Amino acid sequence: MRRRSRSGGNFAWGEFVREDRRIELHFRQTLGLVRYHVGNQSASHESYMRELGVLDQRRYPGFSEDPAAAFHDLAHDLSWADDFLSGSAAVLRKAAAREASDTAEQNKRVTAGRVGDVRQRQ
């Protein structure tokens, strides 16, 4: 799918789908968001790599000037993603749950700060 956006020109997004799994990719001048989905759960590339224990070995995002390099870097990282590609996706589910919990906690703190509830901020 291709669209035009006021904030930055053309962009594209797409998904690779197999059964209840999909990998979501967004592209604007280079590869941007990468998100893994299994059933109704999802996790970012960073969260998934962290849960796999390879965060410090990942190559994506590499921030290269060559847009194709990001896809090569992602392909490298997918070598650790057997859990998602052909396994039970248990690690991905764990990453998704942790990410959802972290996001909910962060949203709770932000909301408490905005409404001035001192007890919630503490």
Angle, in degrees to the nearest 10, between helices 45-52 and 90-115: 120
For the chain, 122 residues long, give each residue's pLDDT as a single digit of tens.
545 555 677 889 999 999 999 999 999 888 999 999 999 999 999 999 999 999 999 999 988 889 899 999 999 999 999 999 999 999 999 999 999 999 989 888 887 776 665 555 45
CA-CA distance, 7 to 82, in Å (whole number)?
A: 36
Shortest CA distance to 75 belongs to which of 34, 29, 19, 17? 34
In three-state secondary structure terms, 87 is coil
Domain count across the chain: 1
* Global pTM exceeds 0.75: yes
Structural domain boundaries, residue 112? 2-121
Coil, strand or helix: which one is 119?
helix
